[in-house]
Amino acid sequence: MLAENKVDALISDPPYVLGASGAGMGAGRKYLQDIKNHIDTGFDVNLLDNFDNWLVFCAKSQIVDIINQAKNQDLNWMLLTWNKKNPTPLTCGTYLPDTEYMVHAYRRHIWESKTRFVVGNVEKNPFDHPTVKPLYVMYKAIASASAPGDLVLDPFMGTGSTGVAALQRGRHFIGIEREPKYFDIACQRIEHALAQGQLF
């Protein structure tokens, strides 16, 4: 039971605005269709008005809006990155898709991790969802924006990666997901994490 029911940190990987259409051989791929149908819709940043400590993943095209949201709320902010060692190779003459962004907006200064980046591989996973975040990335997000014992909210939890990482790092968790099939996966993963207890 928590002393009070206040959310300490909103930590989320919300729907991006990617324009996920694909091209060439990739155009018909199922994961691109899944992204387009369920995830490539963006989100209303005004949702963040209700929180004074939030960390959200975002596409390059959303960074300005999200940083302006932090400024409008008079919060401190920092841009963090996930740098991928094995990005999808591209044949066209542009930058590799090897970096994802997180904006952390905050008033208080209680967190466990101070570096602005996390580096690692994109991982295969067994879940039927096109944008599952690796747990090592979510551990970084949890350590950057919350403290042990905090209540973490993810309003776009997908398969529940934030929740699993939060519980394994000694946080409490509330998650919301619109798609029943992803919600069911998240519940199974979170029940398993609860049964395992805190890992570190």
Please identify, using beta-carbon distances, which residue of 24 and 35 lies nearer to ligand SAM.
Answer: 35
According to CB under 6 A, which residues from 8 to 27 bind ligand SAM?
13-15
Please identify, using beta-carbon distances, which residue of 46 and 91 lies nearer to ligand SAM.
Answer: 46
Q: Could you give the CA distance from residue 101 to residue 31 in angstroms, rounded to a whole number?
A: 21
> What residues have CB less than 8 Å from 133, skipping those under 6 apart?
13, 57, 158, 161, 162
Least CB distance to ligand SAM at residue 139 (A): 13
Least CB distance to ligand SAM at residue 35 (A): 8
Least CB distance to ligand SAM at residue 80 (A): 15
Structural contact between residues 141 and 102, judged by C-beta atoms closer than 8 angstroms:
yes
The residue type found at 84 is: K
Least CB distance to ligand SAM at residue 57 (A): 7
Please identify, using beta-carbon distances, which residue of 51 and 182 lies nearer to ligand SAM.
Answer: 182
Burial of 3 (0-12, 13-18, 19+ CB in 10 A): exposed
In this chain, which of 129, 169, 171, 172 binds ligand SAM, going by CB under 6 A? Answer: 129
Question: In the numeric block, which tokens belong to residue 141?
Answer: 């997000």
Please identify, using beta-carbon distances, which residue of 50 and 76 lies nearer to ligand SAM.
Answer: 50
Under the binding rule (CB under 6 A), the answer on residue 156 touching ligand SAM is yes
Please identify, using beta-carbon distances, which residue of 18 and 105 lies nearer to ligand SAM.
Answer: 18
Site string for ligand SAM, 168-197 (x = CB under 6 A): --------xxxx--x---------------
Please identify, using beta-carbon distances, which residue of 97 and 107 lies nearer to ligand SAM.
Answer: 97
Burial of 27 (0-12, 13-18, 19+ CB in 10 A): exposed
Q: Of 14, 137, 110, nearest to 65 (Cα)?
A: 14
Is 131 in a helix, a strand, or coil? Answer: coil
Structural contact between residues 161 and 27, judged by C-beta atoms closer than 8 angstroms:
no
Binding residues for ligand SAM, rule: CB under 6 A, are: 13-15, 38-39, 129, 131-133, 156, 158-159, 161, 176-179, 182
